[in-house]
Amino acid sequence: MSGALIDGKAIAADLRKELTETVSKLSKKPGLAVILVGNDPASEVYVGSKIKACEKVGILSFERRLPADISEADLLKEIELLNTDDAVHGILLQLPLPDHLDANTCIQHINPDKDVDGLHPLNTGRLVAELDGFVPCTPQGSLMLIKSVQEDLTGLHAVIIGRSLLFGKPMGQLLLSENCTVTQAHSKTRDLPKLCARADILVVAVGRSEMVKADWVKDGAIVIDVGINRQEDGKLKGDVALDEVKEKARAITPVPGGVGPMTIACLLKNTIKAAL
């Protein structure tokens, strides 16, 4: 079987079109504040693309560039100002932060109702309790990609490799809420290839170039590759060996052009939700 590539770019473009229409009907413009501490080049690129994406759908963006040596107390004050600013509906703190700043402390200072990254513990709790809240963007987008292949996931066995707060854990919750049987794998999991080969849905978020080979994948599985690994030649590769795995999978996301575009589209979606 040669599986179809799941076109994340096209699905994200459809979502952005829908969001642009929603924004055009609103009486106020949604506003997203993006906080960038320091000048990490990768973070600069991510922030730039988020701001550009906001403009395209009609969301106002407010960039807060802060020096790398800012104290935690001053960063918390900046967050507080944005928490009380009525023009700001969503606040995104670009990670990673410089070593002297504690990301958890800073995230916990964001008003949970403006936490469009979905990383505040209250939103994590809402997700687990299946209450309305903000769902982290990458798992939210990954679920949309899975559902673009198969709407009803009831009873399917999903294996997720990775258990980060940013991706693995919320992805597990989302698939559990879709009535999948979820196995959460990580660096201490035994017999990982064998475990993965039993998955109807395999989601990989590790950060190791082409770790998942064809013999890790069940015939006809849906495979979502979240990994982003920059090669020496500057090209991006995922955590899954795409060329060989696509021969076995029913559908698979490429890197680039799979999960990546969905992350930003879901950030826009969360910001609009925050403004409603």
Catalytic residues: 50, 94, 117
The answer to whether residue 172 forms part of the interface with ligand NAP (CB under 6 A) is: no
The answer to whether residue 187 forms part of the interface with ligand NAP (CB under 6 A) is: yes
- Candidate ranges 14-22, 37-45, 78-86, 187-195; the one touching ligand NAP (CB under 6 A): 187-195
The answer to whether residue 34 forms part of the interface with ligand NAP (CB under 6 A) is: no
- Binding residue for ligand NAP, selected from 90, 112, 168, 172, defined by CB under 6 A: 168
Q: How far is the CB of 162 from ligand NAP (least distance, A)?
A: 4
Q: How far is the CB of 207 from ligand NAP (least distance, A)?
A: 3
The answer to whether residue 157 forms part of the interface with ligand NAP (CB under 6 A) is: no
- Binding residue for ligand NAP, selected from 154, 188, 231, 234, defined by CB under 6 A: 188
Q: 90 - beta bridge partners?
A: 32
Quick check: bond before 96 cis, omega within 30?
A: yes
- Burial status of residue 115 (CB atoms within 10 A of its CB: 0-12, 13-18, 19 or more): buried
199/210 Cα distance (integer angstroms):
18
| Beta strands 181-185 and 90-93, pairing class | unpaired
Listed residue (191, 125, 127) closest to 161, CA to CA: 191
- Binding residue for ligand NAP, selected from 3, 30, 162, 170, defined by CB under 6 A: 162
Based on CB atoms, which residue is closest to ligand NAP, 70 or 266?
266
* Other Cβ atoms closer than 10 A to 181: 14
In the DSSP assignment, the letter for residue 214 is G
Listed residue (210, 187, 185) closest to 198, CA to CA: 185
* CA-based R_g, the chain, Å: 19
SS3 for 54? helix
Q: How far is the CB of 195 from ligand NAP (least distance, A)?
A: 10
9's enclosing H/E stretch is helix 8-24
- Candidate ranges 66-74, 110-118, 205-213, 214-222; the one touching ligand NAP (CB under 6 A): 205-213
Based on CB atoms, which residue is closest to ligand NAP, 44 or 85?
44
219/162 Cα distance (integer angstroms):
22
What residue has token string 């009486």?
27
The answer to whether residue 228 forms part of the interface with ligand NAP (CB under 6 A) is: yes
- Binding residue for ligand NAP, selected from 106, 202, 205, 266, defined by CB under 6 A: 205
What residue has token string 């990673």?
96
The answer to whether residue 158 forms part of the interface with ligand NAP (CB under 6 A) is: no
Q: How far is the CB of 60 from ligand NAP (least distance, A)?
A: 23
- Binding residue for ligand NAP, selected from 263, 268, 270, 271, defined by CB under 6 A: 263
169/165 Cα distance (integer angstroms):
5
Residues found near ligand NAP in the complex (CB under 6 A): 138, 161-164, 166-168, 185-189, 192, 205-207, 226-228, 259-260, 263
